[in-house]
Amino acid sequence: MNPREKLTPEQLLDMLDAQGIRHVVEHHKPVFTVEESRSIRPPEAGDEGQIKNLFLKNKKGRMWLLCLHESRAVDLKEAARALGARRFSFCSPERLMRYLGVVPGAVTPFALLNDHDGEVEFCLDEALLSHRVIHAHPLDNSSTVSIGLDDLIRLLDSHGHPCRILPLNLETV
């Protein structure tokens, strides 16, 4: 694979296997929202480690991928202040594909592996630190990968995306 090409879900899973990173893959119908994800999850699965991801930018075009527990409501003004930005807006689908190589509904921390120039900053809501395992799409919204949070942070750090922990005062919804 050309190092500038975008990873496929299969290549991502092969990478996890090659690096000995434990993970479990669950295949399901494509889901585009937290609500859809909840609707296909078995009741016994609960919401432990379930995440949502926001791809944001400021007026100057600087970009962040904000990873939160799925139950957290985010105030974009507060998040912008916490990251030293004036205000945030959501990135366009075109920008999402250009920098992270995914489409809306498939946004995931794994997509940072497609940001070869390190233009997107990875930010993790500190509330997720209490979860040993998180569940994220593997670059496609028709499956979910369960992976140790520490393993994910190490993987992204080794590819030029250190994790910035954000102490956000967010409501649970």
Q: Is the pLDDT reported for residue 170 higher than 60? A: no
- The closest alpha carbon to 63, from 94, 99, 35, belongs to 99
Q: Is the pLDDT reported for residue 126 higher than 80? A: yes
- What domains does the chain contain, in order, with CATH numbers? 9-33+47-172 (3.90.960.10)
Q: Is the pLDDT reported for residue 41 higher than 80? A: no
Does the pTM surpass 0.95? The reply is no
Which of 38 and 26 is assigned the larger pLDDT?
26
The token duo for 114 is 């497609």
Cβ-based burial of 19 (10 A; exposed 0-12, middle 13-18, buried ≥19) = exposed
pLDDT, position 43: 63
Q: Is the pLDDT reported for residue 173 higher than 70? A: no
Question: Residue 132 — pLDDT band, cuts 50, 70, 90?
Answer: very high
Edge-to-edge strands, sheet with 163-166:
89-90, 51-57, 63-69, 120-125, 163-166
Overall size of the chain counted in residues:
173
N-to-C CA span, the chain: 42
pLDDT, position 44: 64
Task: Return the H-helix or E-strand segment holding 35.
Answer: helix 34-40
Question: Residue 2 — pLDDT band, cuts 50, 70, 90?
Answer: low
> CA-to-CA distance for 134 and 141, rounded, in angstroms?
15
The lowest-confidence range among 2-16, 27-41, 48-62, 145-159 is: 27-41
pLDDT, position 169: 65
**Segment 10-22 mean pLDDT:** 97
- Percent of the chain clearing pLDDT 90 (strictly above): 70
